[in-house]
């Protein structure tokens, strides 16, 4: 059984919806990112069902996967977008997304990005420091506009996740310490070019328990009550994203498990009128994609067995960056063959170039493998290291396949470089 029902075996061959992955590997080559349209829609539906009857805006955290085809599916479903750069805003606008449903997060917003977002008319800037607040106020004033703002508050809550993707502790670079927030909100009130609309919080990613969210929510509600006493009335509460997915044997939260508890607390404390903003990324796309790769060589040594494949850390950096686990499936179920323990490694000239370690598989040279759960933070973190063209992306819709980003041509990697005389 794979980690996603949208990638399942039929007659011994792993399929994306109704398309054999063997067909895709032969037709488009490997490495290859493969996405399931139905998986995107089903993941979105879980949030919609959980939010039924409530004022909730889901803003897809597009840093997880910013392919235009993926963004457009969510746009058609009614999604807003959580962006962290001017480039991501440009992608939203390119697919006709509603800027009024965009929240602009990120600790290092540049002036040109602020101007672009103000011109587009974004829903909110999630401000992460006092210097950023001052810069945004000045930029908005110079443009003759009023910038809608919320402060990203750091509640010092441990999300119980990998330290590289924990964002709600005091030692993290994100947000404003919750004890400092009232003073910063009061300063924000002094700027005629700012409109205070919300409170924002994002404590981390790949969170599999509800308790960290509720710990943060308790602190946020205390803050909102305090702000009301200071004459700062909040219209929306942004709880960020971070719901985890199943990579192996996890039992992650569902949107309903989280929102039921959130609504319960809001209603009990008289805050049921607040709009809730969510910024899910991984939970919408993580299990909607796989990375196909072909075995080039099997190398057996006294210390290790290696399956050397044509995908590499430049295609999927999460394992070496986070020590992340991705399930590995043989696209064609082997018949016979000796099961051995392999490290799945790529051709890049780095010892850290590995995709999986210590996997028991019966492999043969030329086999195609599927690296599962590669819909999030795979292509968006890909590079051209070792002058390797980035792989193609395809979207499967039932039995229809569309190339949503072609494989890069080798010459394109250096076509704009200049050689001096």
Angle at which helices 130-143 and 181-189 pack, to 10 degrees? 20
- Residue 2 reports pLDDT greater than 80: no
For the chain, give the mean pLDDT: 94
pLDDT per position as a tens digit, 364-417 = 999 999 999 999 999 999 999 999 999 999 999 999 999 999 999 999 999 999
- 318 pLDDT more than 80: yes
Among 75-79, 96-100, 155-159, where is mean pLDDT lowest?
A: 155-159
322 annotated to bind ligand: yes
Edge-to-edge strand list for the sheet holding 19-20: 7-10, 13-16, 19-20
For 409, the enclosing helix (H) or strand (E) is: none
Residue range 134-153: average pLDDT? 97
Given this model, what pLDDT does residue 160 score?
A: 55
pTM of the model: 0.95
| Distance of alpha carbon 15 from alpha carbon 4, whole angstroms | 11
Check whether 12 is labelled as a binding-site residue.
Answer: no
Of the candidates 59, 124, 201, 349, the residue annotated as catalytic is 349
How many angstroms separate the CA atoms of 193 and 51, rounded? 33
Residue 174 has a pLDDT of: 73
Q: Characterize the bridge pairing of strands 236-238 and 275-278.
A: parallel
- State both tokens at 47: 């949030």
In the predicted model, what is the mean pLDDT of residues 7-31?
Answer: 98
Reported confidence tier of residue 170, pLDDT bands at 50, 70, 90: low
pLDDT at 169 over 90: no
User: pLDDT grade, residue 27 (50/70/90)?
Assistant: very high
- The answer to whether the annotation marks 279 as part of a ligand binding site is yes
Q: Which of 249, 263, 219 is nearest to 373 (CA)?
A: 249
The pLDDT score that the predictor gives to residue 252 is 83
Q: Is 350 annotated as a binding residue?
A: yes
Tokens, residue 66: 């910013």
For residue 165, the model assigns a pLDDT of 40
Tell me what pLDDT residue 166 has.
45
**Helix (H), strand (E), coil (C) string for 80-118:** EEEECCHHHHHHHHHCCCCHHHEEECCCCCCHHHHHHHH
**Token pair belonging to 152:** 């990203």
pLDDT one-digit tens code per residue, 239-259 = 999 899 988 888 888 999 999
Are 349 and 386 in contact, with CB atoms under 8 Å apart?
Answer: yes
What single string gives the DSSP state of each residue in 214-278?
Answer: HHHHHHHHHHHHHHHHTT----EEE----B---SSS-----HHHHHHHHHHHHHHTT-TTSEEEE
Q: Which domains does the chain possess?
A: 7-36+286-413 (2.40.37.10), 105-280 (3.20.20.10)
- Residue holding tokens 């290092």? 108
The reported pLDDT for the residue numbered 162 is 42
Nearest partner of 311 among 286, 344, 288, judged by Cα? 344
- Annotated binding-site residue? 377: yes
Give the number of other Cβ atoms within 10 Å of residue 177's Cβ: 12
| Residue 242 annotated as binding site | yes
Which of 59-68, 174-183, 224-233 has the weakest average pLDDT? 174-183
Task: Using the predicted structure, report yes or no on whether residue 296 has a pLDDT greater than 90.
Answer: yes
The answer to whether residue 152 scores a pLDDT higher than 90 is yes
3-state SS, residue 73 = helix
Cis preceding linkage at 31, omega within 30: yes
**Can you give the pLDDT at residue 248?**
84
Q: For the chain, what percent of residues have pLDDT higher than 70?
A: 96
In which element (H, E) is residue 212 found? helix 211-229
- Decide: helix, strand or coil at residue 281: coil
281 annotated as ligand-binding: yes
Q: Is the pLDDT of residue 60 over 80?
A: yes
Residues 34-51 have a mean pLDDT of 98
Query: Which of residues 198 and 335 earns the better pLDDT score?
Result: 198
CB burial of 268-304 (b: ≥16 within 10 Å; e: otherwise) equals eeebeebebbbbbbbbbbbbbbbbbbbbeebeeeeee
* Confidence (pLDDT) at 173: 63
| Residue 38: other Cβ atoms inside 10 A | 16
Spatial distance between the Cα atoms of 187 and 113, rounded to a whole number of angstroms: 23
Q: What is the pLDDT of residues 156-167, one digit of tens each?
A: 776 554 444 444
349 is catalytic: yes
Q: Using an 8 Å Cβ cutoff, are 196 and 224 in contact?
A: no
As given in the structure block, the two tokens for residue 173 are: 């670079």
pLDDT at 104 over 90: yes
pLDDT band at 171 (very low <50, low <70, confident <90, very high): low
The Cα–Cα gap between 395 and 404 comes to 6
Q: What is the mean pLDDT of residues 300-312?
A: 97
Answer yes or no: is pLDDT of 1 > 70: no
């Amino acid at each position: 059984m794979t980690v996603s029902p949208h990638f399942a075996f039929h007659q011994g061959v792993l399929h994306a919806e109704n398309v054999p992955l063997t067909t895709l590997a032969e037709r488009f080559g490997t490495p290859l990112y493969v996405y399931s349209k139905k998986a995107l829609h089903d993941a979105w539906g879980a949030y919609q069902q959980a939010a039924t009857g409530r004022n909730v805006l889901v803003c897809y955290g597009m840093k997880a996967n910013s392919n235009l085809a993926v963004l457009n599916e969510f746009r058609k479903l009614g999604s807003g977008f959580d962006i962290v750069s001017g480039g991501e805003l440009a992608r939203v606008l390119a697919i006709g997304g509603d800027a009024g449903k965009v929240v602009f997060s990120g600790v290092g917003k540049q002036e040109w990005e602020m101007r672009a977002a103000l011109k587009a008319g974004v829903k909110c800037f999630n401000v992460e420091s006092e210097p950023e607040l001052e810069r945004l106020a000045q930029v908005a004033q110079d443009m003759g506009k009023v910038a809608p703002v919320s402060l990203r508050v750091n509640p010092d809550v441990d999300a119980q996740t990998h330290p590289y993707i924990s964002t709600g502790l005091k030692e993290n670079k994100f947000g404003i310490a919750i004890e400092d927030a009232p003073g910063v909100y009061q300063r924000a009130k002094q700027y005629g070019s700012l409109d205070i609309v919300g409170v924002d919080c994002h404590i981390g990613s790949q969170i599999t328990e509800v308790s960290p969210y509720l710990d943060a929510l308790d602190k946020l509600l205390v803050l909102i009550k305090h702000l009301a006493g200071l004459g700062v009335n909040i219209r929306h509460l942004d709880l960020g994203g971070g719901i985890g997915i199943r990579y192996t044997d996890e039992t992650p939260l569902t949107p309903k498990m989280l929102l039921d508890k959130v609504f319960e607390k809001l209603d009990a404390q008289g805050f049921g009128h607040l709009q809730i903003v969510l910024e899910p990324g991984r939970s919408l796309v993580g299990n909607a994609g796989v990375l196909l790769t072909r075995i080039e060589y099997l190398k057996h040594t006294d210390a290790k067995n290696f399956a050397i494949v044509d995908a590499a850390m430049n295609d999927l950096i999460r394992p070496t960056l986070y020590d992340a686990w991705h399930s590995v499936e043989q696209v064609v179920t082997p018949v016979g063959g000796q099961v051995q323990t392999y490290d799945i490694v790529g051709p890049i000239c780095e010892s850290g170039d590995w995709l999986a370690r210590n996997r028991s598989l019966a492999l043969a040279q030329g086999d195609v493998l599927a690296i599962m759960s590669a819909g999030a933070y795979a292509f968006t973190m890909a590079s051209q290291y070792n002058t390797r063209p980035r792989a193609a992306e395809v979207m499967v819709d039932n039995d229809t396949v569309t190339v949503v980003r072609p494989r890069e041509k080798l010459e394109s990697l250096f076509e704009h470089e200049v050689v001096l005389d």
